[in-house]
Structure 1
Amino acid sequence: MRIWGRGKRYQSRLQTYLMAFCTVFITIAMVEFPKEAFDSAIVGLNLWWNVVFPSLLPFFIVSEILMGVGVVHFIGVLLEPLMRPVFNVPGVGAFAMSMGLASGYPMDAVITCKFRKNQLCSAVEAERLLSFTNTADPLFMFGAVAVGMFGMPEIGATIAIAHYVASFIVGVLFRFHGRHRDTKPSEQTSQSGGNIVVRAFRAMFDARQEDRRSFGQLLGDSVKNSMNTILLIGGFIILFSVFLRILSVVGITGYLDTLFAVLLSSFGISTSLAPALVSGLFEIDLGALAASQANAPLTEKVMIASAIIAWSGLSVHGQVASIVIESGIRMTPYMVARVLHAIFAAILTAVLMGPCQGITKLFITPVMFNVGSANTFAFWGARIEQVGYQLLLLLSLLISISITIHIVRSLFTYVVKR
């Protein structure tokens, strides 16, 4: 016991010294290379203002309102028969999953954190939820990556199918995570009797009664909280943009190139993709772009791009950490899930581009937006419309499956009792 306590103290000291060293190093480097730091900060700011801010803020606000009026609680009861057996999370997890699928990073983290704060899930259920809801949105994979970076719309379906199937596999594996930490309250919803639709409406009414805020106050709070979150995300985007540029200037990325080259060669993959992995380690867009421009076979380039998208980059991880840390959700399971997601996505991409390439032809590539008009109101109006449509479609499909499972179970129980 004494040895364990001493080890914890040493670990805490080591973390403190390491954090202090890294902070001082980055500060000195920014003073030494002010132009590079300033230029990279501008790049991060432009990315946040032109892409992240308009694409995520409306959905942050809407998710807050839906939670305040009880719609999320309504969905949670309806989807409990599906989400609990498959992923071992409450039914409300389907809302986080759908929003993550439709609008991308880090929407899932924002919603999961709100679930935890509102006692809609336990800490371990939140960790399970984060493991498989952290996904890229379809527009990024079909439009930005397949069309904009690779210039090949047909590989969009390959990347998307591998990404989402790999995420599903991670979610099923993580249903066993932290089972010893499960508590009885998390089981209550699934054990409630009566008509599931009636219980769903009752849950929505109870949630609204408990909230008690007028719609005007709810709207104001939603805008205020969403703005705080979007500003926090913007700060992390700018910070990691500067951080990655500083590492490149001082030559640290060169050592990482060598490390990843050795790793890739051990799997028989072209070492020219090592710089893409280094960039993707920190930032998803830069990594995917580097993979598309590498001098390597197409299958290997798409595999690495798929792995980078699943990993999502330390920039996104920093955003997730800043969002969930105050709710007591641990980041270690999330990081393990991201590694597994990247591995599974790369393997599935290789399979889909090889022996199973005919599967992707069954999926019709959605209509792409013109990348050149990405800063216009028409683009973002179409973007919001598409995401809203995808969200409604996903939730409708999941609710239909969940209610079907509930009816089949009820009939089976009735027949057994007879």
Structure 2
Amino acid sequence: MNILFYTFLLALIFILAFVLKDRNTFVTIVCSILIIQIILSPKVCMDGAISGAILFFYKVFPSLFSFLIVSNVIIRCNGISIYSKLFGNILCFPLRLPKSCSFAIVISILCGYPLGAKYACDLYENGSISIDELQRLLNIASNSSPLFILGSVGISMFKSSQIGYLLLLSNLISCMIMGFILPAKQNYKHSSKMVMETKSSDNIGSIFKNSIESSIKTCLSIGGFVTVFSVVNNIFENNLIFNLITKKLSSILGLSNDIITGTILGIIEMTNGCNLISNSQADIYMKIILVSFLFTFSGFSIISQVYSFTYKFKVSMKKYIFRKAIHGIICSLISIVLFKIYERYTSMEMFSYNLNPSTYKGSFFISIILFLILPIILFKFKRSFHIS
């Protein structure tokens, strides 16, 4: 059995190495395999499609649609210029981005995937930023929403709002670190473009109508991606070869099968992967490391949604994916460090009293404010010593 498994694995690697030279051949083979799978297991595919549709209509659509409408109205009413004046210095200068990028960053922090990428592309399409600034902004303003990290991951999966806040803080810190380490071809002061203040000639009714139409189109596109990747995930979960591979990897790496399966499926679609990992028998440290990586990396389902906005422009998706992987590793490291500090803090006898939720939330948001101010202080400190 071992010989057959390794023979199959080597054959698969050889075929992929040969086929990847021709993208069309590779896509055709993958789609043909999916068609065969649909014919052989129609119920598995139907269940996956229904599961994806339910996930979209009950979890994604209600929050996403309203945010899209409001955001589109803001853009059409010259809101980017207003956001640039309000948040440009605080958010964009430390990240070496033009002030106009503040709108995409704020939307990304509030709404999460994939709206940050959508409005980053809108900024480039409007001429507010250059292609190099778009490439950087995509990796900075492309994050999981606080609702997903706190609600879905923290409370629903880990049964702990404290872990949710730690994961959210690590996500924000890693995002800021990415802004510092990503190379900028020009100094942000010189690359920043003035945001043109133009009054829309449309009346509010026309603006609202166009915003709704644009939001429906975007939502349907995202819903299609969610459903397709839900089908793919369901096929993998019920596939004999996939289960055989995960069991072999589990025995080789010494990790539980749930961890291996959750990580692989999470790289495809993060929600399902995070759920499998959180329910596994692994220790809490392993869970936090992997879940942090997955919701930061986002998975190929979200990456495909990002590509649906960037395909029109000369944006390198290979560079985007590589940077997302680096971002995920940074977030994992920060998460485990914060969790270690949290463990030590809560285990100290002098802090053994029970914190009520309002006190904890207040401390958390004070920490966020201090964290946002810290880069500006460091930047001023750096300038005072003329460090290049």
- Name the TM-score, length of structure 2 as normaliser: 0.79
Q: Does structure 2 conserve the Cα–Cα contact (< 8 Å) formed by 1:154 and 1:365?
A: no
The amino acid that maps onto 2:202 is R
Q: Confirm whether residue 41 of structure 1 aligns to residue 36 of structure 2.
A: no
Q: CA separation of 1:11/1:129 partners in 2, compared to 1, >3 Å: closer, same or farther? A: farther
User: Match of 2:232, SS?
Assistant: helix
- SS of equivalent residue, structure 1 residue 135: coil
1:100-249 paired onto structure 2 within 5 Å: 100-174=108-182, 176-177=183-184, 179=185, 186-189=191-194, 206-208=197-199, 211-249=200-238
Map residues 3-402 of structure 1 onto 2, 5 A cutoff: 14-174=22-182, 176-177=183-184, 179=185, 186-189=191-194, 206-208=197-199, 211-254=200-243, 257=246, 261=250, 273-355=259-341, 357=343
Cα drift, residue 249 of structure 1: 2.9
Alpha-carbon spacing, 1:35–1:271, altered in 2? closer, same or farther (3 Å): closer
Change in CA separation of 1:275 and 1:230 when aligned onto 2, cut-off 3 Å: same
Structure 2 CA distance for aligned equivalents of residues 261 and 42 of structure 1: 30
Any conservation in 1 of the 2:88–2:100 contact (CA below 8 Å)? yes
CA 366–264 in structure 1, closer or farther in 2 if over 3 Å, else same = farther
- Offset at 1:137? 1.6
**Deviation of residue 92 (structure 1)?**
2.2
CA offsets, 1:351-392, max 9 Å, x none? 11224546799x98579xxxxxxxxxxxxxxxxxxxxxxxxx
SS class of match (2:98):
coil
Which amino acid letter does the alignment assign opposite residue 173 of structure 1? I
What is the distance in 2 between the residues matched to 1:126 and 1:256? 39
Q: Structure 1: which 5+ runs fail to align? A: 1-9, 190-202, 368-392, 413-418
SS in 2 for 1:354: helix
- In 2, are the aligned partners of 1:103 and 1:137 still within 8 Å (CA)? yes
**Deviation at 1:49?**
0.6
Looking at structure 1, the residues matched to 318 and 304 of structure 2 have their Cα atoms a distance apart, in angstroms, of 13
- CA distance in 2: counterparts of 1:19 and 1:184, whole angstroms: 43
The change in CA–CA distance for 1:343 and 1:94 in structure 2 (over 3 A counts) is same
1:380 maps to none
Q: Which has the higher contact order (CA 8 A, sep 6+)?
A: 1
Is contact 1:56-1:103 (8 Å) kept? Answer: yes
Q: Is the 8 A contact 2:129 2:193 kept in 1?
A: no
CA distance in 1, matches of 2:93, 2:300: 31
What secondary structure is seen at the aligned counterpart in 2 of 1:350? Answer: helix
Matched pairs, number: 348
Q: Distance in 1 between matches of 2:140 and 2:338?
A: 21
**In 2, distance between residues paired with 1:226 and 1:136?**
20
CA 1:401–1:250: 2 relative to 1, 3 Å = closer
Structure 2 unaligned segments of length 5 or more: list them.
Answer: 1-17, 360-364
- 2:15 equivalent in structure 1: none
Deviation for aligned residue 1:152: 2.3
CA contact (8 A) 2:93 2:188 kept: no
> Aligned in 2, Cα 1:80/1:184: closer, same or farther, shift over 3 Å?
closer
Deviation at 1:136, TM superposition (A): 1.4
C-alpha root-mean-square deviation of aligned residues, in Å? 3.4
Q: Measure the CA separation in 2 of the matches of 1:20 and 1:139.
A: 38
